[in-house]
Amino acid sequence: MATQLEILAEQYRKEQISRNTYDTSGQYNSNHPNANSDGDDKGKNEIGSSVDIQNRISNLTRNTYTDKNGYGSNHPNAISDGDDKGKNEIGSSVDIATRNEILSKNNYNQRNGYGINHPNAISNGDEPGKGENDGNIGSLSDINNRLDNLGRNIYNKTNEYSLNHPNALSDGDEKGKGELSKNIGSKIDINTRIETVGRNRYGSSKVYPDF
């Protein structure tokens, strides 16, 4: 008696055979109708299937060039006459429009040539200049940043930073890292040191490991 697995296998085999339309009386070969392109989707011989044929017809209808209207270097579609087809000489209408837009942004020409003496090349307080004028170096943004940075810097020719400057000495503020009155480091360093010493129960009269 056949097992359940054998029964399922036999059903699957019969199902696969039923899907195959080719048999001894109708074998598939190059002469079979399904191998020829006769307008259905099965044949791929000669031209192709119906899908291939439709695509080919569609592509042919899109082609506007014929024997009487052959495409060449002198064809209107090959010349840039303001449409999107030509790419000769200047370019297509998109190229021309882009070029005109870029040219309209450029305000320099033969009468207004850009050079080292042009106002836009000199730093006179506007954004274009990157030259030098009255000690103002760079564009407006550069100048503002420079002034901002100078405003933060308190050191100058009359107040130079050095080893002897109060901000270089440890006098209890945050700036000094030198030494004054045996206080070494900045305020944070000193406080941290005092706090650490305060935690240490050993000293000159009570040295470690004495208890």
Q: Is the pLDDT of residue 211 over 60?
A: no
Q: What is the dihedral of CA 78, 84, 87, 93, to 10 degrees?
A: 130
Identify which of 65, 99, 97 has the alpha carbon closest to the alpha carbon of residue 74: 65
The string of DSSP letters for 115-132 reads -TTSGGGS-SSSSS--SE
Q: Which two structure tokens, joined as six digits, stand for 2?
A: 């056949």
In the structure, what pLDDT confidence band is assigned to residue 180 with cuts at 50, 70 and 90? Answer: low
Pairing of the two strands 179-180 and 183-184? antiparallel
pLDDT of residue 4: 83
pLDDT of residue 18: 67
Rounded to 5°, the CA angle 54-59-60 comes to 100
pLDDT of residue 95: 76
d(CA 189, CA 177): 9
How many of the other CB atoms lie within 10 Å of CB of 151? 8
**Considering only 22-26, 141-145, 175-179, which range has the smallest mean pLDDT?**
175-179
d(CA 109, CA 104): 11
- pTM of the predicted model, to two decimals? 0.24
The string of DSSP letters for 47-94 reads T--HHHHHHHHHHHHH----STT---TTSGGGS-SSSSS--STT--HH
Q: Give the residue-averaged pLDDT of 66-93.
A: 77
Q: Is the pLDDT of residue 28 over 60?
A: yes
pLDDT of residue 89: 63
